[in-house]
């Protein structure tokens, strides 16, 4: 088995996901080569062949061009599997490759089981073991699922690729994340509100609990999207990453993108009406209760201490 | 202008899921069904575009059993002009490639200027169908959009990247875009619009008439995740729960120190 690993690069930086690709490939017991549109000044720790095209504003985000270059590398390397991170770069590019290769795509792999791949379904409430029936497959890996214990080392053997611009999508630069009014990354105690709060007025009880615990309040994405809380309160892959001593998740189901932002919390208390909510997988304590009842009582009792 | 929006009907994710008898998907009985959350943003954006350009035909497409028509009616009540239902009781066995082939087959005939999809479906979560459709049609696709604007045959949009960064991108129509959460504020259908939607065209065609291709991805097994969590589950009266929680916080954390 041979894999082609597609590393990610953005705005002058190599993204950390390449180590997960390398580890995944090693777990499969496969040989590998790597592809990157990036820079010679930011090479991954990797001992293998690295096909490298120089990133410029016209080539850095250009899925049509990346597809073309990768197809050329595939013709040379003949891998049985093309591996990408399940990220904004990976899920955009993977189906383009899959169709061009007549390959089945397996999205968001979380585990290798008996040589086949496992993906989540229904907000991680189910897992599907799947198999491609095509000779070559394209897979994307869930962030964090294959993080190696130690970062891979080594210096790649760089093979330069010629990248011309062009293509039917124009990339016009980045827009920085909105300035954060609240720096949750330094908070020691965070109480977060999820969609389970039901209506904006109920955010107050989350704030009150946060105050009673002398912490900050945070929010899951739907609460921010609905404009019940500011963007700077959002915890998760597209929000802030937090590492408090105590994280209280109120009415939050525990989607992977939320977990990614808070799973390094020291102690997690979840309050949820759904006993099977995936947040239970990482919570130290799951209180199965209606937050509208439990949160005010808990706050009152804490204030009386 | 001809616009297509693709929607999927999915179970409410708070449901209790049971594996079906064949062991290849969830049991479809006893579930509450709704529009895939990402597709609500797609429908809203399509309706806003129709309002903006004035002279447009907005078609909503869904592949699934007759049950999905309920969800299509919601899209019609939100402002789509007509519905195209590909009737398929076995759509859950189709992989993204097979689903995309059906959509692309229909779209090719109709030559839409713009196609909207969700970035992913909540039950399958593959994030493939939209991009595959575009590739099959040979048109550009922009994914994971959190901002969208259209003028004179050109789309200007923002893709969401990790950590809240956005990438500014543009392309010419015909094109396909996949919609991310927060792209807009999906409207609630009003009662008069729900009534009006009942009179809108909702054409149903059996999937067999589209020569469906075979799936290239096989499901070997579906199962709930093994419970790794050593976490404590507490149930009961809220006041007693609160006392228990305070005790635990005192013992296990420094939060109340
Ligand atoms: C690319 C991408 C990036 C994303 N980035 C982020 C991100 O940064 N952060 C983020 O949070 N999400 C992110 N998401 C969205 C994520 O996938 C989920 O949709 C989101 O986290 C769900 O938020 P939630 O748990 O609040 O809502 P839901 O999933 O709807 O869960 C609500 C929960 O509340 C419970 N509940 C309902 N009523 C009550 C009650 N009365 N009392 C107690 N519990 C109750 C329910 O049982 C349920 O578990 C992203 C998604 C994508 C695709
Ligand atoms: N059965 C279906 N009928 C119509 N559109 C669908 C169907 N399945 C998926 N889609 C569309 O494709 C998007 C991505 O789905 P997926 O690739 O399954 O994550 C969804 O948000 C829908 O817009």
Mean per-residue pLDDT of chain B: 96
| pTM score, whole prediction | 0.96
Q: Is residue A54 within 8 Å of A8, Cβ to Cβ?
A: no
Q: What is the pLDDT of residue B115?
A: 98
Closest CA to B96 of B140, B138, B132, B139: B132
**Is B234 an 8 Å CB contact of chain A?**
yes
Instruction: List the single residue in A with minimal CA-CA distance to B169.
Output: A171
Q: Do residues B203 and B76 lie in contact, with contact meaning Cβ atoms separated by under 8 Å?
A: no
pLDDT of residue A65: 96
Confirm if B38 and B65 have CB atoms less than 8 A apart. Answer: no
- The CATH class for the domain spanning A2-161 reads alpha beta
Of the pLDDT bands very low, low, confident and very high (cuts 50, 70, 90), residue B164 is confident
Predicted local distance difference test score (pLDDT) of residue A182: 85
A220 C-alpha to center of ligand 1: Å?
Answer: 6
Give me the pLDDT at residue A63, please. 97
> By CB neighbour count within 10 A (0-12 exposed, 13-18 middle, 19+ buried), where does B34 fall?
middle
B222 touches chain A (CB under 8 A): yes
Q: How far is A38 from chain B (nearest CA, A)?
A: 17
CA dist., res. B215 & res. B217, Å (int): 6
Task: State the helix-helix crossing angle for B69-78 and B37-53, rounded to 10 degrees.
Answer: 40
- Verify whether the Cβ–Cβ distance A128 to B181 is below 8 Å: no
Query: Ligand 2 in contact with B124 (CB < 6 A)?
Result: yes
Check if A238 has its Cβ closer than 6 Å to any atom of ligand 1: yes
- Kindly list the residues from chain B whose CB atom is less than 8 angstroms away from the CB atom of residue A256: none
B217 and A CB contact within 8 Å = yes
d(CA A259, CA A253): 10
Order the strands of the A31-38 sheet from edge to edge. A104-109, A137-141, A81-85, A2-6, A31-38, A49-54, A157-161
Q: Which two tokens stand for residue A180?
A: 């954060």
pLDDT of residue B229: 66
What are the pLDDT tens digits along chain A (305 aa)?
Answer: 999 999 999 999 999 899 999 999 999 999 999 999 999 999 999 999 999 999 998 899 999 999 999 999 999 999 999 999 999 999 999 999 999 999 999 999 999 999 999 999 999 999 999 999 999 999 999 999 999 999 999 999 999 999 887 789 999 999 998 777 788 999 999 999 999 999 999 999 999 999 999 999 999 999 999 999 999 999 999 999 999 999 999 999 999 999 999 999 999 999 999 999 999 999 999 999 999 999 999 999 999 98
CA of A193 to the centre of ligand 1 (A): 9
Please list every residue in chain B whose beta carbon sits closer than 8 Å to the beta carbon of residue A111: none
Q: Which helix (H) or strand (E) holds A131?
A: strand A126-132
* Ranges A29-38, B35-44, B228-237: which has the least confidence: B228-237
Contact B144 A282 (CB under 8 A): no
Any atom of ligand 1 within 6 Å of the Cβ of A221 = yes
SS3 state of residue B151: strand
Ranges of beta strands (E only) in chain B are: 2-6, 9-11, 33-35, 57-64, 82-87, 114-118, 141-151, 154-160, 166-172, 175-179, 202-206, 217-223, 232-235
A201 CB-contact burial (10 Å; exposed 0-12 / middle 13-18 / buried 19+) = exposed
Q: Where are the domains of chain A?
A: 2-161, 184-304
| B168, B216, B253 ranked by CB distance to A245: nearest | B253
Which atom of ligand 1 is found nearest the CA of B14? 47
Torsion (CA) A93, A98, A99, A102 in degrees, nearest 10: 160
Domains of chain B (ranges, CATH numbers): 2-210 (3.40.50.620)
A86 to chain B: which residues are within 8 Å by CB?
A: 127
Q: Do A169 and B169 touch (CB under 8 A)?
A: yes
Task: Determine how β-strand A126-132 pairs with β-strand B217-223.
Answer: antiparallel
Distances (CA, A) of A57 to A12, A146, B40, B96, B167: 10, 30, 33, 32, 12
Q: Is B36 in the pocket of ligand 2 (CB under 6 A)?
A: yes
A90 lines ligand 1 (CB under 6 A): no
Q: Cβ A125–B172 below 8 Å, yes or no? A: no
Task: A46-49: list long-range contacts, CB under 8 Å, 24+ apart.
Answer: A46/A18, A46/A22, A46/A152, A46/A154, A46/A155, A46/A156, A47/A152, A47/A153, A47/A154, A47/A155, A47/A156, A48/A154, A48/A156, A48/A157, A49/A77, A49/A156, A49/A157, A49/A159
Q: Which residues of A touch B96 (CB under 8 A)?
A: 95, 105, 107
Give the residue-averaged pLDDT of B29-34: 95
DSSP state of A210: H
Q: One fold for both A2-161 and A184-304?
A: yes
Tokens of A70: 């990768």
Asked if B241 lies within 8 A of A289 by C-beta distance, the reply is yes
Do residue B232 and residue A267 have CB atoms under 8 angstroms apart?
no
B91 and B33 in contact (C-beta within 8 Å)? no
* Chain B neighbors of A88, CB-CB under 8 A: 143-144, 159-162, 167
**Cα-Cα end-to-end distance for chain A:** 62
Question: What values do phi and psi take at B221, rounded to 5?
Answer: -160, 145
Element (H, E) at B74: helix B69-78
Among B140, B166, B231, beta carbon nearest to A286: B231
Contact: B245, A305; criterion CB under 8 Å: no
**Which atom of ligand 1 is the closest one to the Cα of A193?**
26
Interval B169-217: pLDDT, tens: 999 999 999 999 999 999 999 999 999 999 999 999 999 999 899 999 9
Helix axes A90-101, B96-110, angle to 10 degrees: 80
Q: Exposed, middle or buried, A264 (CB in 10 Å: 0-12/13-18/19+)?
A: middle
Cα separation, B35 vs B105, whole angstroms:
23
Radius of gyration of chain B (CA): 21
| Digit-coded pLDDT (tens) for B221-232 | 999 988 766 689
Residue B186: CB atoms within 10 Å: 19
CATH of A184-304, one of 3.40.30.10, 3.40.50.920, 3.40.640.10, 3.40.50.1220: 3.40.50.1220
Give the DSSP letter string of B200-238.
S-EEEEEGGGG-PPPPSEEEEEEEPPP-----EEEES-H
- Judge: B231–A283 Cβ closer than 8 Å, yes or no: yes
Nearest by CB: A131 against B123, B136, B218: B218
Ligand 2 lined by B6 (C-beta under 6 Å): yes
Token reading at A304 = 């009386």
Give this complex's ipTM. 0.96
Residue A279, classed as helix, strand or coil, is: helix
Residue A94: closest CA among B121, B126, B158 = B126
Contacts of B138 in chain A (CB under 8 A): none
B-contacting residues in A 133-162 (Cβ below 8 Å): 133-134
Q: Is A220 in the pocket of ligand 1 (CB under 6 A)?
A: yes
């Amino acid at each position: 088995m041979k894999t082609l690993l597609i590393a990610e690069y953005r705005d002058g930086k190599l993204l950390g996901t390449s180590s997960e690709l390398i580890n995944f490939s090693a777990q499969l017991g496969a040989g590998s080569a790597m592809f990157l549109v990036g820079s010679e000044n930011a090479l991954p720790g990797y001992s293998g062949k690295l096909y490298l095209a120089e990133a410029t504003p016209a080539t850095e985000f250009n899925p049509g061009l990346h597809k073309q270059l990768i197809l050329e590398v595939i013709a040379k390397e003949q891998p049985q599997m093309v591996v990408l991170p399940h990220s904004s770069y990976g899920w955009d590019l993977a189906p383009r490759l899959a169709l061009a290769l007549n390959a089945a795509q397996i999205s968001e792999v979380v585990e290798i089981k008996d040589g086949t791949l496992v993906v989540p379904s229904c907000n991680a409430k189910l897992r599907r073991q799947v198999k491609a029936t095509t000779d070559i497959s394209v897979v994307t890996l869930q962030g964090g699922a294959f993080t190696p214990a130690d970062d891979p080392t080594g210096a790649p053997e760089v093979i330069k690729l010629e990248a011309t611009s062009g293509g039917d999508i124009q990339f016009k630069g980045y827009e920085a994340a909105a300035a954060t009014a609240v720096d949750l990354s330094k908070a020691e105690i965070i109480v977060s509100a999820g969609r389970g709060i039901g209506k904006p007025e109920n955010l107050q009880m989350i704030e009150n609990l946060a105050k009673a615990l002398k912490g900050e309040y945070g929010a899951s994405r739907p609460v921010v999207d609905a404009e019940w809380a500011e963007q700077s309160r959002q915890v998760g892959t597209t929000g802030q990453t937090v590492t408090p001593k105590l994280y209280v998740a109120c009415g939050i189901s525990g989607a992977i993108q939320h977990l990614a932002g808070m799973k390094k919390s020291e102690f997690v208390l979840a309050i949820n009406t759904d006993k099977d909510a995936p947040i239970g997988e990482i919570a130290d304590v799951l209180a199965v209760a209606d937050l509208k009842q439990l949160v005010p009582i808990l706050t009152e009792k804490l204030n009386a201490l | 202008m001809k616009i297509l929006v693709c929607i999927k009907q999915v179970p409410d994710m708070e449901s209790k899921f049971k594996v079906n008898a064949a062991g290849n998907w969830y049991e479809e009985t006893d579930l509450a069904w709704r529009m895939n959350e990402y597709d609500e943003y797609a429908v809203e954006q399509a309706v806003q575009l129709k309002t903006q350009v004035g002279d447009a035909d907005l078609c909503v497409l869904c592949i699934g059993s007759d049950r999905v028509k309920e969800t299509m009616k919601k899209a019609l009540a939100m402002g789509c002009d007509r519905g195209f239902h590909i009737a398929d009781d076995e759509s859950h066995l189709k992989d993204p490639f097979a689903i995309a082939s059906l959509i692309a087959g229909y779209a090719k005939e109709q030559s839409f200027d713009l196609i909207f999809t969700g970035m992913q479906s909540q039950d399958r979560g593959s994030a493939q169908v939209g991009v595959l459709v575009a590739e099959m049609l040979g048109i550009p696709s922009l994914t994971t959009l959190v901002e969208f604007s259209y003028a004179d045959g050109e789309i200007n949009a923002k893709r969401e990247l990790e950590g809240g960064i956005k990438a500014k991108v543009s392309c010419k129509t015909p094109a396909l875009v996949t919609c991310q959460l927060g792209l807009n504020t999906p409207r609630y259908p009003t009662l008069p619009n729900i009534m009006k939607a009942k009179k809108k065209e909702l054409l149903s065609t059996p999937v067999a008439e589209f020569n469906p291709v075979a799936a290239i991805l096989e499901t070997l097994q579906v199962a709930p995740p093994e419970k790794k969590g050593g976490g404590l589950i507490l149930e009961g009266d809220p006041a007693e729960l609160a006392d228990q929680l305070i005790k635990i916080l005192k013992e296990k954390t420094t939060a109340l120190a």
